[in-house]
């Protein structure tokens, strides 16, 4: 069992560096991300980044990893999500690289963080990762955890509303064989997204900690869907 309370102090230390000291790289990165995502859609804003960051630090407690790469990868993974930039997947990595180079971060660290940003996305679940590392595993799990459970449900409907999508349409079935491009351009009802992504994530987690947390969040979504259909059909 994970002892969440025992490691909470360490997470808070990483999340809120002392204001008495000269701003370090992580503090500067947090400020940079907050400024860049000030007007972001509610499911992809600073608070999403903060939750992913906390998840990543939690998972990292049980892995041998480069914690700085994990921190930077988590903080910068959605600095310019392609969904909000006409599908352009190059803006995020470019933005992150420009920032990190200006902060004189080691080139190897920059390359690793950029590789995380380029390979973290679900993309319909049908695209193979072109890069592998334990740091990517950690950040990817942390990001996926924020896509499921209670928060995942809230984010899904928030984005569906942002895109003016129907809640549910009984005659529009989920598409489980979408290509990457079809997934990016999908405009199906919001409920379909549970079957096209959210319910698939439990079995795509990389780390033991990620898998353990995902189990409970997955069950919560199953209960939500059962209640949703019961209410839709007037059975409850």
Question: 41: domain CATH number?
Answer: 1.10.3210.50
Residue 126, pLDDT > 80, answer no
| pLDDT tens per residue, range 103-112 | 999 999 999 9
Over residues 170-196, the mean pLDDT reads 89
| pLDDT tens per residue, range 160-176 | 999 899 999 999 999 98
Question: How many C-beta atoms surround the C-beta of residue 234 within 10 A?
Answer: 6
Query: Do 43 and 158 form a contact (C-beta atoms < 8 A)?
Result: yes
How many domains does the chain fold into? 1
Residue 66, pLDDT > 70, answer yes
Residue 193, pLDDT > 60, answer yes
- Residue closest to 53 by CA, chosen among 76, 79, 34, 20: 76
Question: How many C-beta atoms surround the C-beta of residue 233 within 10 A?
Answer: 9
State residue 156's pLDDT score.
95
Over residues 109-125, the mean pLDDT reads 86
| pLDDT tens per residue, range 199-219 | 999 999 999 999 999 999 999
Side-chain-side CA neighbours of 186 within 13 Å: the count stands at 25
Residue 20, pLDDT > 50, answer no
Tokens 């947390």 map to which residue?
Answer: 213
State residue 212's pLDDT score.
97
Q: Find how far residue 20's CA is from the centre of its chain.
A: 31
State residue 11's pLDDT score.
53
Which domain, by its residues, includes 102?
Answer: 4-232
Percent of the chain with pLDDT over 70: 86
């Amino acid at each position: 069992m994970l002892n969440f309370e025992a490691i909470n102090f360490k997470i808070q230390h990483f999340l809120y560096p002392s204001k008495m000291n000269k701003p370090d790289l992580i503090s500067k990165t947090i400020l940079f991300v907050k400024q860049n995502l000030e007007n972001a859609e509610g499911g992809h804003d600073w608070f999403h980044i903060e939750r992913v960051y906390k998840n990543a630090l939690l998972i990292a407690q049980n892995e041998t990893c480069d914690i700085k790469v994990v921190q930077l990868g988590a903080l910068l993974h959605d600095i310019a999500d392609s969904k909000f930039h006409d599908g352009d997947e190059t803006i995020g990595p470019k933005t992150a690289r420009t920032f990190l180079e200006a902060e004189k971060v080691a080139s190897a660290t920059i390359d690793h963080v950029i590789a995380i940003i380029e390979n973290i996305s679900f993309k319909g679940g049908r695209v193979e990762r072109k890069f592998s590392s334990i740091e990517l595993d950690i950040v990817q799990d942390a990001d996926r955890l924020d896509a499921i459970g209670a928060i995942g449900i809230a984010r899904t409907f928030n984005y569906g509303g942002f895109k003016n999508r129907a809640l549910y349409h009984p005659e529009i079935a989920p598409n489980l064989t979408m290509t990457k491009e079809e997934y990016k351009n999908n405009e199906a009802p919001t409920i379909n997204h549970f079957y096209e992504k959210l319910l698939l994530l439990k079995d795509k987690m990389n780390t033991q900690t990620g898998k353990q947390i995902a189990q409970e969040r997955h069950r919560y979504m199953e209960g939500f869907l059962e209640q949703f259909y019961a209410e839709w059909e007037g059975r409850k």
